[in-house]
Amino acid sequence: MQKAITFKITHRLPGTLARAGTIETPHGTIQTPAFIVGGTKATVKALTVEQVKACGGQSILANTYHLMQRPGAEIIHKAGGLGKFMDYDGPTFTDSGGFQIFSLGIAYKKGIDAVAHTQKGSAAQAVKSANQLAKVTDQGAQFRSHLDGRYIMMTPESSMELQHAIGADIHMAFDELTAPLAARGTIVKAMQRTHAWAERCLVRHDELNAEHLARGENLQALYGVVQGARDETLRRQSANFLGERNFDGYGIGGVFQPGEIADVVRWVCETLPEDKPRHLLGLGSQPADLFLGVEYGIDTFDCVAPTRQARNGALYTFDGRINISNARFREDFAPIDAECDCYTCQHHTRAYINHLFRADEILGATLASIHNERFVVRTVDQIRASLLDGTFFNFKQSFLARYYGDNLPIGVTL
């Protein structure tokens, strides 16, 4: 069967796992490394697709968990697929929704790990609490909808059917996420279940692609998702197992902090096949994530943090992050960042955006989101350029030293 996507490595950085290349999809080429813009519900919050393109976004990732519930995969399919539904003609991704199913709003350090760090709770108690919301068996995961409380059953097969109906270029296999502090036995069991589910995903995915081919439609690609928490043996075992299967690429799940990248991502990327693209799921909320991810072998990232933080008034600048709602910006008539080329910085001042946030005007969220999305996309583009011309380490040092000063994240070195 013909390939749904093709991946080509054009440059490597000696002494590292970093590489630059291209991913060819039915809807265009992604120059890697690349930041994939988060469009969870078939929308990048507060932005039109034209604004996403103007920010330099090469691709958008949507979430299966949310789209299956509203508006429903069938409606998106009837509209002609994700791209046509949202009027976007570029490459698209969907994740399986596994993180949302297993966390159900219990975010890292706000749920499972947070409970485990209190005097009243333990990791085991926290995991038990989470399991009350999602019941996981070898068949799949049963969970309650966050919208109406109804029970939904997700299996590897139904995840593939939903993602094919949504119709993105690249999908993620259905996997089981565990809490980072869960007992090793729990992590092992979840990894083994993830592997079994991955094989079932492949079977159903290939069946659905055969149907697409028979109808003369575009093929869709599938990435296996590597798990194993913070255990080197398990991470390498998972990467080996999935690397031997015929996936089009690989997602790396369960990485939450920059300090984990140098170890966890390195273990995985050293083990996975070199000729397949690697995607780091849900990480990219700060510049350190991007530099370390690329250095240790990541080709693409996705994260909703740039627009989420923007809507809360937290804006990136080359000299660090600022809160635009602060009183000190009320009479600041400079752009958010004088070195930024985004629409917001070219047309508006800190004082104006400060006013919009204080007045609770919707435009504030849009202008802030334009800036943050452009900042992150542009940073990864500059990282790619530094790989091409061999200046990566100089660029990394100058960028991160300026952005963080003496407050480098744990595990980050210059």
Residue 190, both tokens: 């979840």
Please state, in angstroms and rounded to a whole number, the distance separating the CA atoms of residues 138 and 228. 17
Is 138 catalytic? The answer is: no
113, 175, 289, 302: the active-site residue? 302
Distances in Å between the Cα of 211 and the Cα atoms of 80, 214, 249, 333 are 16, 5, 21, 58
Distances in Å between the Cα of 393 and the Cα atoms of 286, 354, 385 are 18, 36, 12
Task: Compute the residue count for the chain.
Answer: 414
Is 89 catalytic? The answer is: no
87, 95, 299, 337: the active-site residue? 95
Q: Decide if 14 contacts 295 (C-beta within 8 A).
A: no
Helices 392-404 & 287-295, crossing angle to 10 degrees?
160
Task: Compute φ and ψ for 279, nearest 5 degrees.
Answer: -120, 130
Please state, in angstroms and rounded to a whole number, the distance separating the CA atoms of residues 296 and 298. 6
Q: Decide if 90 contacts 56 (C-beta within 8 A).
A: no
CA atoms within 13 A of residue 203's CA, in its CB half-sphere: 10
How big is the CA angle at 153 (ends 180 and 144), to the nearest 5 degrees?
70
How big is the CA angle at 172 (ends 297 and 372), to the nearest 5 degrees?
65
Query: Residues with Cβ < 8 Å from 133, sequence gap 6 or more?
Result: 104, 106, 143, 144
Q: Decide if 99 contacts 38 (C-beta within 8 A).
A: no
- Pairing of the two strands 278-280 and 249-252: parallel
Q: Which residues belong to the active site?
A: 95, 302
